[in-house]
Structure 1
């Protein structure tokens, strides 16, 4: 798949097969992510990969519980309350792989650089028939001192992108987007 076809057809995927992504494939996708542009050559990214379905399911339940108990902090999530109370809903889309990108806050550009790496990862994965979805619900859970300690994430690294990733159950139609707003025209 050429790059233009990849960009034009990439969608957020929320339904995956049970097939496990091989370690070599994941490492290649991450390596492609690190080819992203980086401010001042800092390369401030670090990664955690979880492929334990029970761990991922547990993190989903912890996230749902936390969000429901703290909805006043996240008013923009009120529209998803019925999802969060649904016992069948998985924050991580029932994926068997979770890829988490952290940025070293010692770099002023860590959020930008890690977001660019996430974009590369999403496009590289899509070109291989692997779907991804950035998981905004997990912003708190995966950035706690306890979680970061369990996975050896240094203190100065902050969560940038939690991503479910897996082989797509179905190929979706290309996305439809609004016409870009160009302010000076």
Structure 2
């Protein structure tokens, strides 16, 4: 798949097969992620890979509970309250792989750099038939002191991108987007 086809057909994927992404493929995707641009050459990214489905399910339940208990702090999530209350709903889309990208806050550019790395990973994964989805619902749970200590994430690193991953159950049609707004005098 060439890059233009990849960009034009990439979608967030929320339904995965049970096929396991190999360690070699995950390492390759992360290395491709780190080929992205980086402000001041600081390369502030760090990664956690979780491949234990029970752990991923537990993190989903913790995240759902936290969000439901704190819904007043997140008014933009009220529209998802029924999802969060549904015992069958997994914020990680029942994926068997979770890739989490953290950024070193010593770099002013860490959010930008890690987001560019995430974009590279998502496009490269798509070209390999692997679906990805950025999981905003996990922002709190995966950035707690307890979680970061468990996975050896240094305190100076902050969560940028929690990403569910897996081989796509079905291929989706290309996304349709509105015409871009271009401002000019």
Determine the structure 2 residue equivalent to 1:120.
120
1:110 and 2:110 equivalent?
yes
Count how many residue pairs are aligned between Structure 1 and Structure 2: 185
The DSSP-based 3-state class of the residue aligned with 2:118 is helix
The DSSP-based 3-state class of the residue aligned with 2:176 is coil
Instruction: Name the TM-score, length of structure 2 as normaliser.
Output: 0.99
Question: How far is the alpha carbon of 1:172 from its aligned partner?
Answer: 0.1
1:38 and 2:46 equivalent?
no
Determine the structure 1 residue equivalent to 2:66.
66
Determine the structure 2 residue equivalent to 1:141.
141
Question: How far is the alpha carbon of 1:156 from its aligned partner?
Answer: 0.2
Quote the RMSD (CA, aligned, Å): 0.5
Determine the structure 1 residue equivalent to 2:76.
76
In 1, Cα distance between the equivalents of 2:60 and 2:151? 17
In 1, Cα distance between the equivalents of 2:169 and 2:30? 22
Question: How far is the alpha carbon of 1:35 from its aligned partner?
Answer: 0.3
> Which 4+ stretches in 1 moved above 3 angstroms?
none
In 1, Cα distance between the equivalents of 2:64 and 2:154? 25
The DSSP-based 3-state class of the residue aligned with 1:165 is strand
In 1, Cα distance between the equivalents of 2:88 and 2:115? 30
Determine the structure 1 residue equivalent to 2:92.
92
The DSSP-based 3-state class of the residue aligned with 1:179 is coil
Instruction: Name the TM-score, length of structure 1 as normaliser.
Output: 0.99
The DSSP-based 3-state class of the residue aligned with 2:184 is coil
CA displacement 1:69-126 (0-9 Å, x = unmatched) = 0001111000000000000000000000000000000000000000000000000000
CA displacement 1:15-53 (0-9 Å, x = unmatched) = 000011000000000000000000000000000000000
